[in-house]
A = this chain, B = another copy of it.
Amino acid sequence: MLSNNQVKLYSSLRNKKYRGIHGKFLAEGEKIVLDIIHARARLFKIHSLVATSEFLKTQPQAILKDIPEIIEASDSTLEKISSLSTPNKAILVCAIPEYLPDFKQISGELSLFLDDIRDPGNLGTIMRTADWFGIHHIFCSRESVDVYNPKVVQSTMGAICRVRVYYTEPEYLLQQLRNIQSFPVIGTLLEGENIFTAKLPETGIIILGNESRGISEKLLDQIDLKLTIPSTRQGDEVSESLNVAAAAAIVMAEFRRNQAAYSK
């Protein structure tokens, strides 16, 4: 049984401030809860599983044995904790990990910088795509949506177990990376080189702009390689831009295309 204090504590974790104070976050819903439990390697620890007796009964014992605390709760208690509108049978309480970026390693890889991505679904989808294409590090401006927001956690579909997300000032980040070696800063814009024909580097950091205003003014000067996803619509009108998670998917696929061409 959960005490009233526990219910209060866990439900406070919907709020970024309290996630910071308690160093914990929630993963809500059977699918993501099972994804996290099943993940053999994961970037964070599990504290507790809060679930209905029905959910617990249907899980093999082997799956639950490594969870430090398992608490049975009624649907109505779970509803009190949950921030999602769809009812959940299981909620996982996890520890917010405290990893720091290894700039030396990162400078030899491809990574992303998200410049004020606000929509939880967009961040989750970008993390999921990054995971698919073996991109392990995502930097976010401090104004970006919090990765431990329950909606983000849910929409990563388990990628949160593997992709590291850091919040940082872009100036500091780019300075760190450029201190190590010549490191291309790549941006996707409406005016740039055609991404389908450009020669793409194997390492670098790709900047993706905010949903409404794109890449911020102060970062535009920092970009070494400006890329565009050309529209192929014939006619006089076209959407003014792509959704940022869709654009991110096309960009990541394009960077990984040559590598991916021989992977199967």
A260 interfacial by beta-carbon distance below 8 Å:
yes
Knowing A231-B133, A233-B133 are in contact, say whether A125-B41 is a contact too (CB < 8 A).
no
Bitwise interface map of A from 32 to 43 toward B, beta carbon under 8 Å scored 1, else 0: 000000011100
Nearest CB in chain B: distance from A249 CB, A: 4
- On chain B, the residues within 8 Å of A234 by CB distance are 134
CB distance from A259 to the nearest CB of B (A): 5
Question: A132 touching B239 by the CB < 8 A rule?
Answer: yes
Minimum C-beta distance from A206 to chain B (A): 15
B134 touches A233 (CB 8 A): yes
Q: A228 in the interface, Cβ–Cβ < 8 Å?
A: yes
A194 B242 Cβ-Cβ under 8 A: no
In the complex, whether A51 has a CB less than 8 A from a CB of chain B is: no
A157 engages B249 (CB within 8 Å): no
Question: Which residues of chain B come closer than 8 Å to A237, judged between CB atoms?
Answer: 39-41, 161-162
Interface string of A160-171 (1 = CB under 8 A from B): 011000000000
Q: From A38, which residue of chain B is reached at the shortest CB distance?
A: B237
Choose, from A15-23, A93-101, A137-145, A250-258, the stretch at the interface.
A250-258
Give the contact-size bracket for chain A: 35 or more
Contacts of A239 in B (CB 8 A): 128, 131-132, 156-159, 162
List A220-254 residues whose CB lies under 8 Å from chain B: 228-243, 245-250, 253-254
Q: How far is the CB of A39 from chain B (nearest CB, A)?
A: 6
List the B side residues contacting A228 at CB < 8 Å: 264
Decide yes or no whether A83 CB sits under 8 A from chain B. Answer: no
Q: Is A263 an interface residue (CB 8 A)?
A: yes
- Within A193-240, the residues touching B (CB, 8 Å) are 194, 196-197, 212, 228-240
Question: What residues of B have a CB within 8 angstroms of the CB of A129 in the complex?
Answer: 242-243, 246
Given contact pairs A129-B246, A134-B234, A155-B243, a sample of 20 additional A-B residue pairs in the complex whose CB atoms are under 8 Å apart: A41-B236, A41-B237, A131-B239, A132-B231, A132-B239, A132-B242, A133-B231, A134-B231, A134-B235, A156-B239, A158-B240, A161-B237, A162-B237, A194-B260, A229-B253, A242-B249, A243-B245, A246-B248, A250-B253, A253-B254
Q: Which residues of A contact B (CB under 8 A)?
A: 31, 39-41, 121, 124-125, 128-129, 131-134, 155-159, 161-162, 194, 196-197, 212, 228-243, 245-250, 253-254, 256-257, 259-261, 263-264
